[in-house]
């Protein structure tokens, strides 16, 4: 596939600088770029690389002097990474999934497959499942009976979609995503120690129940995933108990994220790698959970909250707050606390040395 520099500029809504007719085959970092690559140089830090590479054309930072950089043509991008989003979309021809339904796919006669859908080898689709138009489904995917998937989905190899799951349009599921596994929900016949711990903060006697059996609470609610959601490799979204676990439109989930049963994640959130949201918590719109951030169960996280990487949220968070640490506190409070902690060794040492000066004479008395 080839592109003219001018076509790429037009896709970004800007004019190409210099020769818009340069024909390009791909994108590359500046130092590694060949003559047919569009070099991606979004800040002056990449200028030296342009000299090392052989690019004739580049996407440059605003105000860059493309001629002085030895280029024949360029695109100046006011917001570089947004330009990269558009350019990479243009250059990516997507996974190679042959059109139509592969001979080895097992598709129940009662499943409905939309027009233009491509389904790879050894994929299994159950009775009553509905797959929207133009869906691209790689090999070895399992789609349970009754599952509904919208139009233009991209479902990668090894994805498992369990019963009672509804998925919107244009959803991307990376390899080995599991949606709709049963929730981790068990209950004892009488209140267990873990249930009283939050109230008692661990004080008081431990009561050992006569019957320690964990009775299974079955998951009847399934999962509802909105339009334009992406879920990264190996991430899991569990089924709700009575109603569906929900992930709102436009939310992007990274690899190895766990979303527990009954959780409601709002729209346009980012859940970074290894984040976890425990059962029944509600996460607002546009919330960002940094990598390895954890949210305990039954909490409410307001809209626009940012939780820093590795933080652990143990109580409700009002809208707009930036949280950090474990337990998570406001970021400014956390930094103050951390500052105090870092100064503690010197404080103690200084305090102890002062104490010695005072106590020595009295010992000699």
Partner 1 sequence: MDVAAKVIAIIAEQAVLDPSDVKPENTLEDLGIDSLGLVESIFAIEEAFDITVPFNANDPQASDFDISSVAAIITAVEGLVAAQS
- Would you please indicate which residues are annotated as catalytic (active-site) residues? 261
Size of the site for partner 1 (CB under 8 A): 8
Asked whether position 344 contacts partner 1 by CB under 8 A, the answer is no
**Does 354 help bind partner 1 (rule: CB under 8 A)?**
no
The two tokens of residue 109 are 């006669």
Of 68-76, 105-113, 282-290, 341-349, the window that binds partner 1 (rule: CB under 8 A) is 341-349
Shortest Å distance, C-beta 77 to partner 1: 21
Q: Does residue 215 interact with partner 1 by CB under 8 A? A: no
Residue 343 near partner 1 by CB under 8 A: yes
Residue in the structure block whose two tokens are 């004739």: 56
Minimum distance of partner 1 from residue 329's CB (angstroms): 13
Residues 289-326 as b/e (b if ≥16 CB within 10 A, e otherwise) read bbbbbbbbeebebbbbbbbbebbbbeeebeeebbbbbe
336 lines the binding site for partner 1 (CB under 8 A): yes
Order of strands across the sheet that contains 230-231: 118-119, 136-137, 154-155, 172-173, 230-231, 252-253, 270-271, 288-289, 306-307, 322-324, 329-330
What mask of x and - would describe binding to partner 1 in positions 285 to 324, judged by CB under 8 A?
----------------------------------------
Asked whether position 339 contacts partner 1 by CB under 8 A, the answer is yes
**Shortest Å distance, C-beta 308 to partner 1:** 9
Query: What is the nearest approach in angstroms of partner 1 to the Cβ of residue 303?
Result: 23
Query: From the list 48, 335, 340, 344, which residue makes contact with partner 1 (rule: CB under 8 A)?
Result: 335
Using an 8 Å Cβ cutoff, are 162 and 180 in contact?
yes
Retrieve residue 181's tokens.
Answer: 């596994």
Longest dimension (CA), the chain: 99
Q: Is 242 in the site for partner 1 (CB under 8 A)?
A: no
Interface with partner 1 includes 342 (CB under 8 A)? yes
Cβ of residue 342: shortest distance to partner 1, in angstroms?
A: 5
| Residue showing tokens 């009954």 | 262
Q: Does position 357 bind partner 1 by CB under 8 A?
A: no
Q: In 3D, which of 116, 122, 128, 168 has the Cα closest to residue 142?
A: 122
How far apart are the C-alpha atoms of 128 and 116, rounded to whole Å? 19
Separation between Cα atoms, residue 256 and residue 140, nearest integer Å: 20
Binds partner 1 (CB under 8 A): choice among 214, 332, 340, 355: 332
Residue whose CB is less far from partner 1, 35 or 80: 80
Site for partner 1, rule CB under 8 A: 332, 335-336, 338-339, 342-343, 346
């Amino acid at each position: 596939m080839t592109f003219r520099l001018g076509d790429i500029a037009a896709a970004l809504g800007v004019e190409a600088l210099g020769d818009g007719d340069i024909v390009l085959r791909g994108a590359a970092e500046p130092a590694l770029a060949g003559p047919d690559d569009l070099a991606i140089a979004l800040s002056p830090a990449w200028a030296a690389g342009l000299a090392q590479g052989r690019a004739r054309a580049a996407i440059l930072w605003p105000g860059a002097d493309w001629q002085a950089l030895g280029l024949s043509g360029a695109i100046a991008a006011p917001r570089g990474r947004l330009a990269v989003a558009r350019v990479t979309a243009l250059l990516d021809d997507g996974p190679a999934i042959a059109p139509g339904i592969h001979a080895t796919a097992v598709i129940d006669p009662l499943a409905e497959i939309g027009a233009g859908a491509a389904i790879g080898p050894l994929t299994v689709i159950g009775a009553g499942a509905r797959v929207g138009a133009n869906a691209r489904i790689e090999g070895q995917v399992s789609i349970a009976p009754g599952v509904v998937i919208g139009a233009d989905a991209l479902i990668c190899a090894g994805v498992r979609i369990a019963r009672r799951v509804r998925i919107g349009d244009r959803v991307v599921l990376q390899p080995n995503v599991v949606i709709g596994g049963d929730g981790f929900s068990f209950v004892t016949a009488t209140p267990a120690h873990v249930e009283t711990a939050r109230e008692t903060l661990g004080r008081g006697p431990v009561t050992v129940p006569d019957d320690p059996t964990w009775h299974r609470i079955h998951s009847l609610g399934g999962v509802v995933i909105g339009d334009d959601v992406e879920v990264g490799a190996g991430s899991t979204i569990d089924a709700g108990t009575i109603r569906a676990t929900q992930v709102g439109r436009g939310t992007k989930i990274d690899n190895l994220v766990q979303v527990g049963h009954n959780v409601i994640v709002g729209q346009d959130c980012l859940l970074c790698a290894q984040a976890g949201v425990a059962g029944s918590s509600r996460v607002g719109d546009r919330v960002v959970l940094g990598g390895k951030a954890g949210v305990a169960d039954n909490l409410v996280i307001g809209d626009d909250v940012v939780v820093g990487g590795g933080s652990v949220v143990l109580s409700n968070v009002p809208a707009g707050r930036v949280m950090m640490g474990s337990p998570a506190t406001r970021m400014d409070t956390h930094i103050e606390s951390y500052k105090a902690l870092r100064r503690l060794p010197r404080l103690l040492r200084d305090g102890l040395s002062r104490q010695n000066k005072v106590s020595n004479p009295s010992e000699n008395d």
